[in-house]
Amino acid sequence: VTNFADHKVDTRFVLRSQLPTGLAQIWVDEAIGDNRIVVYEGAAGQLNVDAANNLLKDGCLDGVDIVVCQNEIPLDTTLHFLRVAHEGGKITMFNVAPARGSLPDACLGYVSVLVVNESEASQISGVEVSCVQSATSAATALQRRGARTVVVTLGAQGCVLLEEGVAEPEVLACPKVEKVVDTSGAGDCWVGCFAYYLSVGKSMKECCRRAGEIASVSVREKGTQASYPA
């Protein structure tokens, strides 16, 4: 919480729990920078729908234009936030990380922008994603189920953007990184940058391009938040 405050993040709606804060154990392959992460949800697993309603009553979404959800709290709570935000006319982003199997179609109907990586796209779309072509197929399947715009991130291959109202998908490259040190947190970096640039009026394509550029910087250093460029 102190770190958030130091970076001017509003911490008024942080809840306290008797359980420890969630913890992620990260293993990094030093040869190529890829990672494996095991997550203990801890206090995050206690954020139920009742607690969410209390936060909403206290005004946690007041004045908010974009609501970003991930998959580290109970899914029922995430769906509740997405529904309330969607019905309130806000832009909703759902980064399904970590993936925990399939998602109900009703959930996707509340999502303005769905962001998934290869493994997440594979789990929730039923299409095994291993390349740009299969990522496009997965994005198409997810859009048909209700998500308006779908982005499948592909690491060094960039991303596939299937935007609402645009017939053809965009394949957007990211800068080549000569030496990848640690990919941990690169997805979070990408999502945060995309949301920021969307909030200042950039196009979906430009948001993807800039998010890819900044995330490519983050993989050149060890760590998660510490690797993000200022």
- Active-site residue set: 188
Long-range pairs for 116-119 at CB < 8 Å and ≥24 separation?
A: 116/142, 116/150, 116/151, 116/152, 116/153, 117/152, 117/153, 117/154, 117/155, 117/187, 118/152, 118/153, 118/154, 118/155
The residue type found at 229 is P
CB within 8 A of 1, min separation 6: which ones? Answer: 11, 14
Strand partners, 92: 67
Do 80 and 57 meet the contact criterion of CB atoms below 8 Å apart? no
Length of the chain (residues) = 230
